Structure 1
């Protein structure tokens, strides 16, 4: 598989899968949770409240590990392992662009000052489990 084909496959998974696990470090131990992800090119975004454990954890260590794409059909399902560096994005334009009505259960609207985006810049991306093949690393 060429790097171009690999990138196309990864972008397809990111487009079709919006829920994944996101790991941070809490008290020197891994801490994972399910998150909703959006992507622009290979950069991921996920909404969160500015006053959560994860924001505190990411202030101490801005690196994360994300698994996204497994659809549960069985052995051989492909998914993406994504390592990234997180920054906090409070851009009104980006918050508005990524806003959807499902977020109303957590925020008053895209202008809510507690609503921020975690912007995740890729450090390493691997395609996993493609029909039992070994992992394929996307060159960054």
Structure 2
């Protein structure tokens, strides 16, 4: 009985390990963005490109923008809900932002506010690879503290 259980445990471990997507993947292909249409585009990781995309004015301006735009949802504020919403998005070749998603949320109203803040951002300076603008996958935390 114990040998069979051990065998199943080892087998399950191998299946999970080899079925997982590679963590070191540098070049992404996203598909099924819209349920009604399949769109395929090449998206690069932030660290893989020659020039990373940048918020106009740099990180200090981005922090200023986030602090000015952030509207703490009233119910979350009164209930003492705090935390950091981790969002992902793509900076496109023209600097526009698309495909905003919450990777790790806190509470629904805070998650929506983080997505709203990112969607209101001005066009970024696009990322470059081999001196050409390329879409780049970015991750940004938005903190909510009372």
TM-score exceeds 0.5? no
Q: Which has the larger helix fraction?
A: 2
Look at both structures and tell me which one has the larger radius of gyration over its CA atoms: 2
Higher share of residues assigned strand = 1
TM bin, normalised by shorter chain, reads under 0.3
TM-score relative to the length of structure 1 = 0.27
TM-score by length of 2: 0.27
